[in-house]
Amino acid sequence: MIKFIGIIVFIFLPLLITALIIGRRMEGHDEREDRDLAIREGVKALKLRVLNLERIRSYRRERRG
């Protein structure tokens, strides 16, 4: 009985703790990927906005002569 408890404590408990730690890190990794993706999407939207403003300005310049 004591050997069985020893096996559980010294083998399965560290494995469980390791799995929990790895799971936490993976959650953080997903959040980082989501944040990076959001930043990239924001930069892309900003670039499109700037390009549209440039087009509007050039169109107005052409109309003015």
Amino acid 13: pLDDT: 79
Average per-residue pLDDT for the chain: 81
CA angle 52, 46, 54 (to 5 degrees): 25
Amino acid 15: pLDDT: 81
pTM of the full structure: 0.48
SS in 3 state form for 28-58? Answer: HHHHHHHHHHHHHHHHHHHHHHHHHHHHHHH
Percent of the chain at pLDDT above 70?
A: 92
- The C-alpha atoms of residue 29 and residue 57 are separated, in whole angstroms, by 42
Amino acid 38: pLDDT: 86
- The C-alpha atoms of residue 31 and residue 39 are separated, in whole angstroms, by 12
